[in-house]
Amino acid sequence: LASLSPGPGSGQEVQTENVTVAEGGVAEITCRLHQYDGSIVVIQNPARQTLFFNGTRALKDERFQLEEFSPRRVRIRLSDARLEDEGGYFCQLYTEDTHHQIATLTVLVAPENPVVEVREQAVEGGEVELSCLVPRSRPAAVLRWYRDRKELKGVSSGQENGKVWSVASTVRFRVDRKDDGGIVICEAQNQALPSGHSKQTQYVLDVQYSPTARIHASQAVVREGDTLVLTCAVTGNPRPNQIRWNRGNESLPERAEALGETLTLPGLASADNGTYTCEASNKHGHARALYVLVVYDPGAVVEAQTSVPYAIVGGILALLVFLIICVLVGMVWCSVRQKGSYLTHEASGLDEQGEAREAFLNGSDGHKRKEEFFI
């Protein structure tokens, strides 16, 4: 960054540019000359030591290099800028009237990655306090906290040490077991960093909580002779390092093999039935899980499975027999029911006849007759 400083308005003139550079960066100090006639040009550092006399190096500091020396401009280059390089650089033109200007060099210090620490161990249901420290920055770094992409409100403080600042910030919030492994970010920014850039440190939350336990079986149905493996899935922080297996008020079968989180029961028999438990504990609590083992007899399982289709077939047969009986009863009832016969005719006066035969005998030959009998 540079700003122009004009020289005197009469005679030969010198102009300089103020420069701002980040520590460790490169700064260019420029002296602009007007109406230069070949007079002596001297550039001095803030300690008034001569760096260059015209185009000749005067100070043995290899970080300073002469980049340009022309009738219109003198430009030197400073590499690896340091705080002690900060100050006014004199650009002097020696003529009958001496002209000089001062180019002010400002050195900024970018913050390093913040240091995040926890005050004390976080425990489920309690509060955790985190501190963030940037020991060196110029100007003083601005610290911010983020958790789950949301900014947390922290309390910041700073202390000036010479030309640099030491800045710290603290934040407090409640934690639960679900927060274990979560990430909290401390971010530091100041003008020494490029626009839009920052230095960040991520802190992984370590929340301690009581254990939980759950038993998983290798198979859902177990039969005599099978091998069953029970696994005790345990959580907790700190993680329980010892898991105990037992069977109610009885001892484990002699064939059982308990190894950490697994319990293996080979050659199952009905004598192995019972309630199996796994237990785990840490300094924050105790957990227990239950598993009820019922060993099935393969013969009983087969009989139970085959009895189902027999029952269905039997029910169908019974329904068919019932339907057949109903049909037979209906036929017998219809056969004994006398419905008689009747004569339909169009002759007048014959519809009063009581019997079909009388209607036929009394009717005239010229009429149509119809006689129906139920068999």
pLDDT, tens digit, for every residue of 181-199? 999 999 999 999 999 999 9
Q: Please tell me whether residues 52 and 85 are part of one structural domain.
A: yes
Closest-CA residue to 74 (of 51, 99, 54, 94): 54
Q: Quick one: residue 301, left, alpha or beta (phi over 0 = left, psi -120 to 50 = alpha)? A: alpha
Contact 212, 235 (CB under 8 A): yes
R_g of the chain, CA atoms, integer Å? 53
Number of domains in the chain: 3
Supply the pLDDT for residue 160.
95
Supply the pLDDT for residue 327.
80
- Provide φ and ψ at 96, rounded to 5°: -55, -35
User: What one-letter code names the amino acid at 364?
Assistant: S
User: What one-letter code names the amino acid at 166?
Assistant: S
User: What one-letter code names the amino acid at 222?
Assistant: V
pLDDT tens digits, the chain, 375 residues: what are they? 444 344 433 444 789 999 999 999 999 999 998 878 888 899 999 999 999 998 899 988 999 999 999 988 999 999 999 999 999 999 998 877 778 899 999 999 999 999 999 999 999 999 999 999 999 999 999 999 999 999 999 999 999 999 999 999 999 999 999 999 999 999 999 999 999 999 999 999 999 999 999 999 999 999 999 999 999 999 999 999 899 999 988 899 999 999 999 999 999 999 999 999 999 999 999 999 999 999 987 666 454 454 456 667 677 887 887 888 888 877 777 776 544 444 444 444 444 445 545 544 455 454 445 555 555
- Count helices and strands (H / E) in the chain: 2, 28
Contact 226, 204 (CB under 8 A): no
Q: Please tell me whether residues 203 and 120 are part of one structural domain.
A: yes
Q: Is 75 inside any structural domain?
A: yes
Pairing outcome for strands 13-22 and 99-108: parallel
Supply the pLDDT for residue 47.
93
Supply the pLDDT for residue 349.
46
Q: What is the CATH number of the domain that holds 130?
A: 2.60.40.10
Q: Please tell me whether residues 81 and 119 are part of one structural domain.
A: no
User: Cα separation of 239 and 206, whole Å?
Assistant: 12
CA angle 131, 132, 134 (to 5 degrees): 145
User: Cα separation of 42 and 39, whole Å?
Assistant: 10
Supply the pLDDT for residue 323.
84
Supply the pLDDT for residue 308.
52
Supply the pLDDT for residue 79.
96
What lies within 8 Å, CB to CB, of 246 at 6+ separation is 252, 276, 277, 279
Supply the pLDDT for residue 370.
53
Tokens for 116? Answer: 């995040």
User: Cα separation of 154 and 145, whole Å?
Assistant: 7
Tokens for 301? Answer: 């399982």
Supply the pLDDT for residue 98.
77
Pairing outcome for strands 207-217 and 122-123: parallel
Q: Is 182 inside any structural domain?
A: yes
User: Cα separation of 102 and 4, whole Å?
Assistant: 10
The SS3 of residue 306 is: helix
Supply the pLDDT for residue 333.
73
Contact 289, 215 (CB under 8 A): yes
User: What one-letter code names the amino acid at 173?
Assistant: F
Name the domain boundary from 232, 258, 293.
293
Q: Which domain holds residue 154?
A: 115-207
Q: Please tell me whether residues 149 and 97 are part of one structural domain.
A: no
Q: Please tell me whether residues 199 and 217 are part of one structural domain.
A: no
Supply the pLDDT for residue 269.
94
Q: Is 56 inside any structural domain?
A: yes
Supply the pLDDT for residue 362.
52
Name the domain boundary from 207, 227, 261.
207
- What DSSP designation does 113 have? P
